[in-house]
Structure 1
């Protein structure tokens, strides 16, 4: 398994997705510091929301085999700057979370465009609430061969 590091804004569903992936009861838990779940690195949303904390992202990423940037379908903000992925010397994939809240294809296309602008090539669409897309995402991570 690639050791993934989850990066995304506050409330985008990073921890909830981790809970679903690990068959842990889903409950809201505000991540206050870097946490490790069965070889997955979960970062606080503040790391991406405050540019002065980008050094924390870069330093923590040294322990990761793959970077996973997440954005909720319900968050219209531009979260990740253009070419964000270039700060990492490892693969970067994207995840659109909370797909159960999607109202239109246009909404999905906007988030996909933003993730691609950040440098993402592969995008997963998931809903941790109803388990949509989670198995495909987990299988991708489990079957990759970069450590």
Structure 2
């Protein structure tokens, strides 16, 4: 039996990392602030937004990502900017995808900007989701299951 692959979720506070996990695992949506690194269903590593937001804490992301097979950058569609520097994915030397969350709160230009931010940071694929509308998750689930192989990541 193959061990499940793991992904690490990296993004700002309130970007929707925890909600993303809840939707992917068909759990009830309940907001709670992620205070520490959490392993969800032995496949998703949920990280506090402060690890990305505070430069002195970014090293914690690099250390935590050692246990991941996939890097996932999470970008809120309505956020005017980004915390992901160009080429940021190269810090991890692992496959990286981007997920735009809260697409229901963004217009076409905002979604295009968010996708550009993620691509510039090094995301190989970008998925657009809305947990409110339930959109974008079929494609994302399918991709994650293919990435994980035999039994998938989910």
Fold shared per TM-score above 0.5? yes
Structure 2 SS opposite 1:143:
helix
In the alignment, is residue 141 of structure 1 matched against residue 144 of structure 2?
Answer: yes
Matches within 5 A, 1:1-147: 2-38=5-41, 39-103=43-107, 105-145=108-148
Give the whole-Å Cα distance in 1 for the aligned partners of 2:114 and 2:141. 21
Shift of 1:87: 0.4
Give the whole-Å Cα distance in 2 for the aligned partners of 1:2 and 1:124. 19
Shift of 1:41: 0.5
**Retained in 1: the 8 A contact 2:18–2:34?**
yes
Give every structure 1 segment of 4 or more consecutive aligned residues whose post-TM-superposition deviation is greater than 6 Å: none
**Retained in 2: the 8 A contact 1:2–1:142?**
no
Q: TM-score by structure 2 length?
A: 0.90
Structure 1 SS opposite 2:9:
strand
| Structure 1 runs not aligned, ≥5 long | none
| Structure 2 runs not aligned, ≥5 long | none
Give the whole-Å Cα distance in 1 for the aligned partners of 2:20 and 2:148. 22
- Number of residue pairs aligned between Structure 1 and Structure 2: 146
Which structure exhibits the higher relative contact order, with contacts defined as CA atoms closer than 8 Å and separated by 6 or more residues?
1
Question: CA RMSD for the aligned pairs?
Answer: 1.4
Shift of 1:127: 0.6
Post-superposition CA distance 1:61-107 (Å, at most 9, x none):
0000000000001111221011100101210100000011122x211
